[in-house]
Structures are given as C-alpha cells and as structure tokens.
Amino acid sequence: MTFTPAITGTGVFTPELSISNAELVVAFNAYADRFNAENADAIAAGEIEAKAHSSEEFILKASGIERRYVMDKDGILDPAVMHPVLRQRSDDEPSIMAEMGVDAANKALAAAGKTAADVGAVICAASNLERAYPAVAIEIQELLGVQGFAFDMNVACSSATFGIQAAADMVRSGSIKSALVVNPEICSAHLEWRDRDCHFIFGDVATATLIERAEDATGLYFEIRSTRCATEFSNNIRNNNGYLRRSRPAGMVDRRDMQFMQNGRKVFKEVLPMVSSHIAGHMGDEGVTAGDLKRLWLHQANKSMNDFIGKKVLGRDPAPGEQPNILQDYANTSSAGSIIAFSQNSDDMQSGDLGIICSFGAGYSVGSVIVERRG
Ligand code: CO8
C-alpha cells in the first residue's frame, strides 16, 4: 500500500536584524581603506593587490538584492572583524541552529494544525552544520518532543528539495506517517564578507516544511505530485573548510578557501541550462505543460537568473506574482530561499492549481517538487 505525500504546513524564522546594501557598502569600503593603508608598501611593490570599493548600484543591478537578515550585525559591519560574532553556548543550551529550526518548525506545525505528537521524523537539511555530531536534527527532535528518528543532510542550496524528496518517499512508502524538513541557514558565518565579489550575496533564516499523508491533512494542502533531484560535480562553488583542516600544513591559517568561494559568471552560465532542462524534463515526464503551471517558487540567488529560468520554463515573461522573488529582502538564504517564496506566496492558490518548487546550487545540484493545491 502506498500513500500520497502532501505539504500541509510551512514556517519561516526571520532574524530580527537586517543589513541594507548601503550599510554593507560603507562597512566594506572602510575595511578596504584600512586594508590598503595597512598594506601600502606591499601594494606599492606589486606584491598584493589593493582592495577596490564595493558599490550599492552594482549589487542591486548584478543580483536584485536590497538587504539581508543576519544573526549578528555588529561583527559583520565592524571593519576590524568582518564576520558575525555569535555567543558561545554551553552544551546544555539549545544550539543556535536548533533554536532557529525549532521556531520555524513550530510555525509549520501551527500552519498545519498539528503538534509534535503527529510527527514521525525530522530531517535537518542545510548547506552547513554548526558541529559534526550529534546531529542537529536529533537536537531539534528532542526540543520539539518528536518520537521516531532524525538525521542531518547537506546538499548546499538544494538541501530543502532533496529533504522534501526523502521525506515524501518515506511517507509514500508508509515507513513514516509524517516528517518535518527543517532548513536553518546561517550563511553569514561561511560567507567571506571581505571579498567584494560575494560579500552581498547571502543572509540568514530558517524554514520548515511539514510533509504528511494527504489523508491526514486537516485543511488546505499541497499534494506532492512528483519530485526529482539531480547532481553533477563542479568546483565552481566550493568551501574547503572541514574536519581535516587541523591535520594539514598551515591548516588553521586564515585562508580565503575556508569560506564560500565561487566563480559567479561560470555558475550563472552553467547552472541556467541545467535547471531549465531539469524542470522541462520533470514537467514533460509528469505530463505538465507550461500552460498548466500557476506558479514557480525558485531558488533565490539572483533576480536575472530567476527571470531567465521563468521565461525558459513558461515560454514567455512571467506575469507579476507568477514567479515570486523574496531575494530583495532576504538575499540568498541557500536551501531556505525557495521555501520562503513558497511559504509567503501560495495561500491564494485554488484547488487544482499546479506549481513547482525548484532549488539549485553548489554540487552542482538541482531539485524540483511539483505540487497541486488540494482541499
Ligand atoms: N561592487 C562593485 N563592483 C564589483 C563588485 C562590487 N561589490 N563585485 C564585483 N565587481 C566588479 C567585478 O570586479 C567586475 O569588474 P571587471 O569587469 O572590471 O572585472 C564587474 O564588477 C563584474 O563582476 P562579475 O562578472 O562578477 O559580475 P556578475 O554580473 O557576474 O554578477 C554575481 C556577480 C551576482 C555573483 C553573479 O555572477 C551571480 O549571481 N552568479 C550566480 C551565483 C549563484 O547563483 N551562485 C549560487 C551560489 S549559492 C549555493 O550554491 C549555496 C552554497 C552554500 C551557501 C553558502 C553560504 C555562504
């Protein structure tokens, strides 16, 4: 016997603090001036390159991002620090990722009219985890009071859709009745705020999605018609930080590759065709045409990228609201982006309406979820 999986609730934890492009550029430029003054001799001797200023106009034009939420603002904007400063918590306190995840998870449960007693599993799917073990998912499970099991997974920006596929498959097969897929993303802690090419890209947030058997839904829900995941190895988005760091010569030195690095132009060029053909193939195999689609909730990395994908998938420019972006307010929140867009822009859909959630990023990875409004 198989069951029909459905998304019955979503929740978003949004940090209280946010940084505008103007604030970000002032801090970066102060850092660049300071760096150039401190290294004036080496720069004059041609040994190192001077740091160029960042610009608000460039950021908005290149990405569409206007501001980003963060877990700490002071450290990021201090030219002498340039990264978030987060309090060390004791092992007896909830960890920061678990706390963010629990907030989003409780909102998803409330949206579905359910409690922790209705949940059979927790998947914490995120692009980075604050410790190696024990799994953050198991801590979230404990804090929520969920029975069953929990595990962490990481597929960078595609973590949420890959997590939804894992949960939907388990619900479909009957091995669990329901699962929470939780995506706490503290991107600010692995972003290199001292690099003007990327310092504007990311923000912090947590999202959660409750997946249940459709028959257990108490209100309106989204039936998960089909999911599809794909990966293809690429070094164009990479972070070399990891547990072997200490074991390597000069491993603990402040190195550029210990934070997020990307070849943005190449990513742009290579990921666009990959995502467009992935969505087209998924729709084709499910008998879904562009005319059937009411909404696209895309990964929130770059406005031009989303405009391009929307046009490719629909065969025309998307109408306002058809392909909602949230990146102007949240920036790229890695795996959480498409779920924020879905959570904030799906209540108005009518029974029978179809949409696609799609995320893509490092790996490369791409995941799509075709959903149908029901109830
Ligand atoms: N201010 C002013 N000028 C700038 C700035 C700046 N801040 N930054 C760069 N410039 C300059 C460049 O130096 C360059 O100058 P020149 O032409 O003289 O060399 C010029 O502006 C143009 O630069 P680019 O070619 O880099 O600009 P693009 O138009 O390509 O835009 C983007 C850059 C926005 C990065 C764009 O390439 C892009 O969005 N690419 C796709 C990125 C993407 O989608 N990446 C996905 C990554 S997310 C993911 O997978 C999750 C990873 C895990 C999470 C990590 C959390 C930290």
Q: Which residues are catalytic?
A: 157
The stretch 168-184 carries a mean pLDDT of 98
Residue among 237, 300, 303, 325 whose CB has most ligand 1 atoms within 8 A, to mutate: 237
- Ligand 1 close to Cβ of residue 14 (< 6 A): no
Exposed e or buried b for every residue in 258-276, given b needs 16+ CB within 10 A?
A: bbbbbebeebbeebbebbb
- Ligand 1 close to Cβ of residue 334 (< 6 A): yes
Atom 47 of ligand 1: nearest residue by CA position: 361
pLDDT at 320: 87
How far is the C-alpha of 139 from the C-alpha of 141, rounded, in Å?
Answer: 5
Share of the chain above pLDDT 90, in %: 99
**206-224, pLDDT tens digit by residue?**
999 999 999 999 999 999 9
Cα 337 to averaged position of ligand 1 atoms, centre (Å): 18
Element (H, E) at 330: helix 327-330
* Total residue length of the chain: 375
Cα 29 to averaged position of ligand 1 atoms, centre (Å): 17
pLDDT at 375: 82
Residue among 51, 58, 82 whose CB has most ligand 1 atoms within 8 A, to mutate: 58
- In which band, very low, low, confident or very high, does the pLDDT at 353 lie, cut at 50, 70 and 90? very high
Both structure tokens of 96 = 């920061």
Q: Looking at ligand 1, which atom is closest to the CA of residue 191?
A: 57
Reference 214, options 7, 69, 372; nearest CA is 7
pLDDT at 35: 98
The stretch 68-86 carries a mean pLDDT of 98
What is the three-class DSSP state of 121?
Answer: strand
**291-325, pLDDT tens digit by residue?**
999 999 999 999 999 999 999 999 999 998 999 99
From first CA to last CA, the distance across the chain in angstroms is 22
Atom 12 of ligand 1: nearest residue by CA position: 197
For residue 102, the tally of other CB atoms under 10 A from its CB is: 26
Cα 189 to averaged position of ligand 1 atoms, centre (Å): 18
Does residue 137 carry a pLDDT above 90?
Answer: yes
- Ligand 1 close to Cβ of residue 62 (< 6 A): yes
Cα 63 to averaged position of ligand 1 atoms, centre (Å): 8
| pLDDT, mean over the chain | 97
- In which band, very low, low, confident or very high, does the pLDDT at 280 lie, cut at 50, 70 and 90? very high
- Ligand 1 close to Cβ of residue 301 (< 6 A): yes
How far is the C-alpha of 294 from the C-alpha of 162, rounded, in Å?
Answer: 22
The stretch 122-142 carries a mean pLDDT of 98
Does residue 273 carry a pLDDT above 90?
Answer: yes
Does residue 267 carry a pLDDT above 90?
Answer: yes
Residue among 29, 197, 330 whose CB has most ligand 1 atoms within 8 A, to mutate: 197
How far is the C-alpha of 200 from the C-alpha of 24, rounded, in Å?
Answer: 7
| Geometric angle at alpha carbon 247, from 244 and 250, rounded to 5° | 110
Rg (CA), the chain: 21
